[in-house]
Chain A
Amino acid sequence: MKILVVDDETDVKILFEQRFRREIKTGEMNFIFAFSGEEALGYLNRHEHEAVLILSDINMPGMSGLELLRHIKEKYHKPPPMVMMITAYGDAENYNSAKQLGADDFLTKPVDFTSLKEKLKTNLV
């Protein structure tokens, strides 16, 4: 399964590639990166029939993670991909609106990679 990571910080690519180097090596996980909500939507449009798990930051310039979430949940019905939201502001408001829009999980920065790995593994089964 593919995991689409959406964040405006480009260094997350290197970070994820190292944090998940074993899983990537074994082919257990496959990461794709998009650096804005718009770019993520573009990828999803081009690969409509791929099963993807999405891991998105909320605070991004332009299209925010929450907007991306709304687009995804409205548009892709069959079945809608799983979306996990990440934010630096671990406040109730962001959490509630993410849940309302149909987010499957909610993580706060700094990301705990051990628990993220666990979550991804259980979800990928």
Chain B
Amino acid sequence: MVNPKQLLLTIFLLLAFATNTVFCQDNELDSLNNLLHAFSLQKKIETDTNYINTLNALAFKLAYYKTDSALLLGNKAVALSKNISYPFGEAEAYKNLGLTYNVRGNYDSAFIVYKTGLAIAEKNHLSATAGRIYHNKAIVYTNLGKYPEALENYFHALKMREESGEKLGQSSSTNGIGTVYFLEGKYGDAVKYYIKAMDLAKEIDYKRGIEAGYANLGEVYYRQGNYDAAQKNLLQALDVVNITGNLETLAFCKNMLASIYLKQQKNDDAIREFRESGMVAEMLTSKEYKSRSLIGIGQAYLSIHKPDSALFYVQEGYKIAGDIKFIELLRDGSEILSNIYESKGNDKQALFYSRQFKVFADSINNQQAQQITANLAADYEYSKKELLLKNEFENKSTRQRWIIFSAFASLFSSLIVVWLVYRSRQKEKRTNHLLQQQKTEIEKQKNTAEKALSDLKAAQTQLIQSEKMASLGELTAGIAHEIQNPLNFVNNFSEVSNELLGEMNDELSKGNHDEAKQIAGDVKQNLEKILHHGKRADGIVKSMLQHSRSSSGQKELTDINTLVDEYLKLAYHGLRAKDKSFNAKFETSFDSNAGKINVVPQNIGRVILNLINNAFYAVSEKQKAEGLTPDAENYEPTVTVSTQKTNSGIEIKVADNGSGIPQKVLEKIFQPFFTTKPTGLGTGLGLSLSYDIVKALGGELKVETKEGEGSVFIISLSLIDTV
């Protein structure tokens, strides 16, 4: 198993804000509100610093829940503090505003108010407030992955907190520094600071700090491969958890321990710890940890050669990871699934998951590469700034020396100037060279990142192509059937026409002109039929080719009713060919005014095909379920496809009377990789691609559904492109 970075950040954030516990208790809020109310009954509350302090306390509490109110209170506190020149109140208010903006993800605004707050705090020597602001800024930078800036701010925070003598704050900031080093992969430094943070926490018996210290140390040692030390620290962390009852840390430590056991091949221990971690995750409703535990259990089962149990757990975990789109877990899950299927001899599934693994791994590598590029760019900016400062300094000293020397000996002065200029030029050259080198290096890294990005894009294209091919495969049987029918007619009508011409000859030689004429009429009609059915087959082949073509086609005027009808038949026969027992009624209601629309036919065709396939799937699933009940006779699976010209354009509706879509699932149906079909049966890309296609046409794809009654998917295309 890999490092649960996410949880680490959680612990670290908890620690960061522990001074005014994050978990807001209602009664505490109430008492603050009551206090405010009491103030409001007094006169001249606006000049009362206690009132401002209470406003600030409330704003801090609300920063996490009601950001609107928090901003309102914060701004009010700023205004009142300014009026009575109360710098502490003002700086604290800015700190809270920054925190609120941070919660909202509005980082630019956060930095602006932090800057204002810091200026006030530092001018008035409010080191405690300044420390808090630096600390908060560092957290934002850490979250943004800007580690050099994060460190700078943590060190400032530490300095301020040493000045004000706050041990708890020092412990928090020191822990933060350790975390940044950890995230940068500088494990040695991370250990140093984690230990320092823990010592500080121990001095004041700050349990949560001690607990986080042990847990974090456990993780660093795990990363370094020092499993004994990791285990020792994690067990100590668990001892502290017994006192604090902190479930997040409990889940984290259990999971880390289990991962260690897994590495040490102590599979039974690993399974036990993963199970416990999973149970805690359940209490925390942490899907990430639930998934992590299930995948871990599966991995342990695979190690003890129980592939069936392994498959069960990993599939569960993988599904949850998919629900929460946790790429790292999807990567690990697909790797293990691939191994499981390989050991079961199911090469097809093994290959499928190993491909999935590659896609997810690429995606993570790509993210990391981007991170590296960004950090390098930041380093580059720093080195530029440094260079500038250095040059300035040297220029100044050069001038000074020049004045001194010229006073002593004007004769040598010009020589010295020449020499100095020469020297500074040399220096400039050297630094320029260095800079150039750095630039090349950054350029190289950037290229690597860009390469990773383009690889990812290629993988994505491939994935989309494979979704297309999958739906084409589903269609093949339907297409074969659809072509067979017109071909039969072509053959039959040619054969019968041949016979008829023979008869016509006979009649002509007998002199029966009228009879001959009538036969000629029949032959003419047959030739028309042959042409008609030939064209019909031609159209099917064409649309099949268009469907499989990977490059995007041209927009053309397309008769929407014909297109919908064609894909409806293909989908129906495809499903029928796959499942002989399946039969569904399909109804069409085409608005003859629907007309033509300017689209790429295979694109909108894919959307229609997808929706119809889904509709048939929904009714066939319901039929299977109903088959077990006495009501089975009364259920008639029906798919209705209709077109309708509206005021603003065209609507294409695909309705089914299946089971409907539960609310929980409804939110996710348009997300890529989400599928309710059994593993391996659906790519989870159909609806997401459909959504993108319709969006790209400037249209809308909506769904109306009622559980137990069915669903209606509606494609609305605007009039602009219709003719």
Q: Which A positions have Cβ atoms within 8 angstroms of B?
A: 9, 11, 14-15, 18-19, 59, 61-62, 64, 67, 88-89, 91, 93-94, 109-111, 113
Contacts and interface: CB of A to CB of B under 8 A. Distances in A.
Given A14-B529, A19-B492, A109-B484, A59 B500 contact: no
User: Interface SS of chain A: helix, strand, loop or mixed?
Assistant: loop
A18 B497 CA distance: 9
B417 interface: no
B51 to A, nearest CB: 76
Contacts of A94: 580
A109 B487 CA distance: 11
B623 to A, nearest CB: 13
A114 B580 CA distance: 29
Nearest to B519: A21
Interface residues of B, number: 25
B583 interface: yes
A109 B573 CA distance: 15
A85 to B, nearest CB: 13
Contact of A14 (B481, B491, B525, B577): B525
Considering the complex of A and B, which 4 residue pairs feature the smallest CB-CB distances, nearest first?
Answer: A110-B488, A18-B496, A93-B580, A64-B583
B606 interface: no
Contacts of A111: 488
A89 to B, nearest CB: 7
Nearest to B480: A88
B576 interface: yes
A23 to B, nearest CB: 14
A11 B536 CA distance: 13
A19 to B, nearest CB: 6
Contact of B493 (A15, A62, A93): A15
A92 to B, nearest CB: 10
Contacts of B572: 61
Contact of A15 (B484, B492, B577): B492
A11 B576 contact: no
B533 interface: yes
Given A59-B481, A109-B488, A110-B491, A19 B577 contact: no
Contacts of A59: 481, 573, 576
B583 A15 contact: no
Contacts of B581: 93
Given A67-B583, A89-B577, A94-B580, A113 B481 contact: no
A3 B484 CA distance: 24
B585 A88 contact: no
A9 B586 contact: no
A19 B496 contact: yes
A59 to B, nearest CB: 6
Contacts of A110: 484, 487-488, 491-492
A88 B583 contact: no
Nearest to B586: A61
Contacts of A113: 492
B526 interface: yes
B485 interface: yes
Given A59-B481, A59-B573, 19 more contacts: A9-B485, A14-B529, A15-B492, A15-B493, A18-B500, A19-B496, A59-B576, A61-B572, A61-B586, A67-B583, A88-B481, A88-B485, A89-B577, A89-B580, A91-B580, A93-B581, A110-B487, A110-B492, A111-B488
B489 interface: yes
Of the listed residues A11, A19, A93, A94, the one surrounded by the most CB atoms of chain B closer than 10 A to its CB is A11
B455 interface: no
9 contacts: A9-B485, A9-B489, A11-B489, A18-B496, A61-B585, A89-B481, A89-B580, A110-B492, A111-B488
Given A59-B573, A109-B484, A15 B489 contact: yes
Given A9-B485, A88-B481, A110-B491, A15 B496 contact: yes
A39 B615 CA distance: 26
B566 interface: no
A51 to B, nearest CB: 28
Contacts of B484: 88, 109-110
Contacts of A19: 492, 496
B362 interface: no
Of the listed residues A9, A11, A18, A59, the one surrounded by the most CB atoms of chain B closer than 10 A to its CB is A18
A110 B577 CA distance: 17
Contacts of B328: none
A47 to B, nearest CB: 25
B152 interface: no
Contacts of B533: 11
A110 B500 CA distance: 20
Given A15-B496, A94-B580, A110-B491, A62 B526 contact: no
A108 to B, nearest CB: 11
Contacts of B585: 61-62
B442 to A, nearest CB: 64
Nearest to B503: A21
Interface string B671-682: 000000000000
A65 B666 CA distance: 37
Contacts of B577: 89
B522 interface: yes
A61 B576 CA distance: 11
Of the listed residues B484, B492, B581, B585, the one surrounded by the most CB atoms of chain A closer than 10 A to its CB is B492
A120 to B, nearest CB: 16
Interface in B78-92: none
Contacts of A18: 496, 500, 522, 526
Nearest to B569: A61
A57 to B, nearest CB: 10
A62 B533 CA distance: 23
Contacts of B481: 59, 88-89
B627 to A, nearest CB: 15
